[in-house]
Structure 1
Amino acid sequence: MSQFTGNVDDFGMDTISLAGSLPDKLQAMKAAGFTQVMLSARDLVGHPAGVDAAVQAVRDSGLRVTGFQVLRDFEGLPGGLREYKIDIARSMMALCAAVGSRVLLVCSSTSTHASSDLDDIARDLRRLAVMAVPFGIRIAFEALSWGRTINEFPVAWDVVCRADMPNLGLALDSFHAFAMQTSLDELDEIDPQRIFLVQLADFMWNEIRSVEERIDTARHFRVFPGEGAHSRQAAEMVLRLDRLGYRGDYSFEVFNDDYQQMPLPMVAARAARSAAWLGETVLKRSVPLPGALRLRTDRDVAVSRNADCLLSASSTRH
């Protein structure tokens, strides 16, 4: 495929979007033009030749590791549960460092055994950040939309501020923000230097009506930005972050059962078209309406140029 220009190198794929072996996933991403990859612990421990072989496959691919996921249900736990999770965290950090990742993703707790006190949660995240220092790792804390106490990014940001550790910051996830209908105005309250990762995905329906549907959609029916019902919001989110001063990475975290049944190059090509739209169109300040942007091909360019621009509409409102 032709080389990207503009800001497309800021975007990477998550291995979760692809079926097949780790080397095949990495090869498909690189062939589609990506330069970075988001890895999970399962990619390494599930490799048939072992963790060392998986680490070598990542290194041989030449792809930069965006981040490593995911530590779940860590914060706010009592006694023995806390010590158990601390051991799990150490293992995750060792794997994270082994693949050269400098970011470990931590999701807000869903456990009914966890404290809902924000100071307790901040205390545990501070301890986690201290543990990460010798590894040279930053902790990116993400608000799951079905988290027990923290299910929106403004509350996650509050806890990060309470913990007050330089290597503890936010992971923003567009799916969770759109599913919870969190106002993007809240982004203006965040220090862009403390945003360590932005994960992007969309979904096909306008709203999610229950926690159960939210979880099911998140785990099975996400789509790439530009494919779903929230393309305008995805564009607005990226533009707002850019204006805020965020210059970090974006990763497509797209859990989709249909994509798991498609050849790897086809799925990677869908992701590449999404990256091209966001990097070369949105971040170059010319944003066509969602109906004209979904999976743009060269034949679609003439049509999209005639569409109204989101940025122009935004400028008119302000």
Structure 2
Amino acid sequence: NLVNVKIANLAKSLPPSLKNHDKFFVQYGCSYVFHPVREEVRLRLESDALFQGEEFVKAPLFGGPAMLPSEDGTVIASYHSFTEKTVFLTDEEICRNTLIEKAAIVRSKLGKGCLYLFGPHLEHPLYKDANLLVGRIIAAEKSVQLNNNIQAASAPPPVRSSKDLRRQISNARIVAGSMEFMPVKWLIGCKVYEPEKIRVFLEAMWRRLRRLERAHLSGWELDEVISKAARIVSVLRRMHTAIGEGRDATHLAAELFPLLRECTSSFFSLYFKTLRSTDIEISCDRGRLSPAAL
């Protein structure tokens, strides 16, 4: 009740219970909060700035929610898939529709601070990677860096490269490409945006990635582009889920397109800086860079 986050596992009528009926649901007013699975699930980490290239982590789920945050909430991790240790309490298709691609960890602003909502039990002692995830979140809020191994000596964060940028842009292209088959468009201000416009930005960067990879770049400028690209992937995935569920994604599109412009601008600043520093001659054709030069 403190923040504007809904849950996906709330229903007017209960789906069939296959096992553990006493742990399957709890009544909530005239509705029911039901728990489709228990035990282990796989989460997809959405905040590249926090997790530095890591993509998935396993964690146990014992009655936690699948969340549908409002536009002022940030999805830190989503439910990605089940594992061989997942225990299904109802039909597997119902479990997938209820959990997969829904938010598992959400950050929402609250007064002068913030509130984190967790579905899975990341504090479980048998899941060290999940434990570390909690530590990194706390460290990020405290603006300090947490060691990857709490008992080991401090180690520098991993250096990100152009390959990390390729991975993020590739993920974005995949999601954006699948959205082009969806009959949607968004009115943002006075302009109408269609899914096809998303890939205009992504393809402009994708076609020029090889040049950056050959330069073996690293540093804060590349990190900035990678972080923005990771945010694009996160927003795109949330848009894809919302559209698939028949929900309006205009607020997400309004977040996405300025982010695409920022990321592309940062990318090209780095790109042309790299060209100049390596003394690559740029040939021009009618005021445009020729494909051969790029």
Superposition TM-score, scaled by structure 1 size: 0.24
Greater relative contact order: 1 or 2 (C-alpha under 8 angstroms, separation 6 or more)? 1
Pair member with larger Rg: 2
Which is richer in strand? 2
Superposition TM-score, scaled by structure 2 size: 0.25
